[in-house]
Amino acid sequence: RSGSKHATTPADNYYLARRRTLQVVVSSLLTEAGFESAEKAAVETLTEMLQSYISEIGRSAKSYCEHTARTQPTLSDIVVTLVEMGFNVETLPAYAKRSQRMVITAPPVTNQPVTPKALTAGQNKPHPSHIPGHFPEFPDPHTYIKTPTYREPVSDYQVLREKAASQRRDVERALTRFMAKTGETQSLFKDDVSTFPLIAARPFTVPYLTALLPSELEMQQMEETDSSEQDDQTDTENLPLHMSTDDSGPEKENTSVLQQNTSLSGSRNGEENMIDNPYLRPVKKPKIRRKK
Partner 1 sequence: MNRKKGDKGFESPRPYKLTHQVVCINNINFQRKSVVGYVELTIFPTVANLNRIKLNSKQCRIYRVRVNDLEAAFIYNDPTLEVCHHESKQRNLNYFSNAYAAAVSAVDPDAGNGELCIKVPSELWKHVDELKVLKVHINFSLDQPKGGLHFVVPNMEGSMAERGAHVFSCGYQNSTRFWFPCVDSYSELCTWKLEYTVDAAMVAVSNGDLVETVYTHDMRKKTFHYMLTIPTAASNISLAIGPFEILVDPYMHEVTHFCLPQLLPLLKHTTSYLHEVFEFYEEILTCRYPYSCFKTVFIDEAYVEVAAYASMSIFSTNLLHSAMIIDETPLTRRCLAQALAQQFFGCFISRMSWSDEWVLKGISGYIYGLWMKKTFGVNEYRHWIKQELDQIVAYELKTGGVLLHPIFGGGKEKDNPASHLHFSIKHPHTLSWEYYTMFQCKAHLVMRLIENRISMEFMLQVFNKLLSLASTASSQKFQSHMWSQMLVSTSGFLKSISNVSGKDIQPLIKQWVDQSGVVKFYGSFAFNRKRNVLELEIKQDYTSPGTQKYVGPLKVTVQELDGSFNHTLQIEENSLKHDIPCHSKSRRNKKKKIPLMNGEEVDMDLSAMDADSPLLWIRIDPDMSVLRKVEFEQSDFMWQYQLRYERDVVAQEEAILALEKFPTPASRLALTDILEQEQCFYRVRMLACFCLAKIANSMVSTWTGPPAMKSLFTRMFCCKTCPNIVKTNNFMNFQSYFLQKTMPVAMALLRDVHNLCPKEVLMFILDLIKYNDNRKNKFSDNYYRAELIDALANSVTPAVSVNNEVRTLDNLNPDVRLILEEITRFLNMEKLLPSYRHTITVSCLKAIRVLQKNGHVPSDPALFKSYAEYGHFVDVRIAALEAVVDYTKVDRSYEELQWLLTMVQNDPVPYIRHKILDMLTKNPPFTKNMESPLCNEALVDQLWKLMNSGTSHDWRLRCGAVDLYFTLFGLSRPSCLPLPELGLVLNLKEKKAVLNPTIIPESVASNQEPVNTTNNHGQLVGFQNTFSNSQEEEEIDMDTVHDSQAFIYHHLNMLERPSTPGKEQSSGEMNMHPVSAAPLSVFSKESNSSKHSDHHHHHHHEHKKKKKKHKHKHKHKHKHDNKEKEKDPFAFSNSPASARSIRSPSLSD
Restricted to residues 161-200, the positions that interact with partner 1 (CB under 8 A) are 161-162, 164-166, 169, 172-173, 175-176, 179-180, 186, 188-192, 195-200
Among 95, 135, 144, 204, binds partner 1 (CB under 8 A): 204
Q: Assess 286 for contact with partner 1 (CB under 8 A).
A: yes
Q: Is 185 helix (H, G, I), strand (E, B) or coil?
A: strand
Q: How far is the CB of 151 from partner 1 (least distance, A)?
A: 22
- Three-state SS across 21-65? HHHHHHHHHHHHHCCCCCCHHHHHHHHHHHHHHHHHHHHHHHHHH
Query: 103: closest CA among 167, 22, 28?
Result: 28
DSSP state of 6: T
Contact present, 228 and 238 (Cβ < 8 Å): yes
**Closest CB to partner 1 among residues 118, 211:** 211
Stretches 57-65, 97-105, 143-151, 153-161: which one binds partner 1 (CB under 8 A)? 153-161
The rounded distance, in Å, linking the Cα atoms of 238 and 243 is 9
Q: In this structure, what is the dihedral angle of CA atoms 131, 135, 136, 141, given to the nearest 10 degrees?
A: -10
The rounded distance, in Å, linking the Cα atoms of 137 and 50 is 44
Stretches 6-14, 54-62, 89-97, 252-260: which one binds partner 1 (CB under 8 A)? 252-260
Q: Assess 268 for contact with partner 1 (CB under 8 A).
A: yes
Q: How far is the CB of 287 from partner 1 (least distance, A)?
A: 8
Q: Is 61 exposed, middle or buried (0-12, 13-18, 19+ CB in 10 A)?
A: buried
Work out the number of other CB atoms within 10 angstroms of the CB of residue 64.
19
Which amino acid would we find at residue 133? G
Stretches 10-18, 99-107, 129-137, 202-210: which one binds partner 1 (CB under 8 A)? 202-210
Q: Assess 236 for contact with partner 1 (CB under 8 A).
A: no
Q: Assess 250 for contact with partner 1 (CB under 8 A).
A: yes
Residue count at the site for partner 1 (CB under 8 A)? 75
**Closest CB to partner 1 among residues 111, 262:** 262
Q: Assess 231 for contact with partner 1 (CB under 8 A).
A: no
Interface positions, 31-60, toward partner 1 (CB under 8 A): none
